[in-house]
Amino acid sequence: MYKLQTDEDGNPICIVCNEKLFNEKEWAEHVEFERTILKQNVSGLKEQKNNFDRCLNSSLSVDQSRRKRESELNRIRLNQQKRLEIKNTVIRDTQTPTGRPSNSTSPFSSPSGSSMAKKDAAPLNGNTSYCKSCERHYDYLIISKSFEEPRCQNCFSKFRAQTGALPLTITSASLDTADSLCDENAETSSPQSPLSLVVDAKRSRFN
Calpha distance 181→21 (Å, rounded): 167
Q: Give the side-chain half-sphere CA count within 13 A for 169.
A: 3
For the question of whether the overall pTM of this predicted structure is more than 0.75, the answer is no
Burial class (CB in 10 A: 0-12, 13-18, 19+), 108: exposed
- Predicted confidence (pLDDT) at residue 30 exceeds the cutoff of 80: yes
- Coil vs helix vs strand at 6: strand
Average pLDDT over residues 172-192: 48
- Predicted confidence (pLDDT) at residue 3 exceeds the cutoff of 80: no
- Predicted confidence (pLDDT) at residue 82 exceeds the cutoff of 60: yes
Calpha distance 194→9 (Å, rounded): 195
Calpha distance 7→64 (Å, rounded): 59
Q: Where are the domains of the chain?
A: 1-57, 59-93, 129-163
Calpha distance 180→174 (Å, rounded): 10
Cβ atoms of 11 and 22 within 8 Å: the answer is: yes
The rounded percent of the chain whose pLDDT value lies above 90 is: 5
SS3 content of the chain, % helix, strand, coil (to 5): 60, 5, 35
pLDDT in tens, 93-146: 776 655 544 444 444 444 444 444 444 444 444 445 788 888 888 888 888 777
User: What's the confidence (pLDDT) of residue 129?
Assistant: 78
- pLDDT category at 203 given cuts 50, 70, 90 is low
From residue 69, how far is each of 60, 65, 135 by CA, in Å?
14, 6, 66
- Coil vs helix vs strand at 196: helix
Range ranked top by mean pLDDT from 37-51, 102-116, 180-194: 37-51
16-25, 47-56, 81-90, range with the lowest pLDDT: 16-25
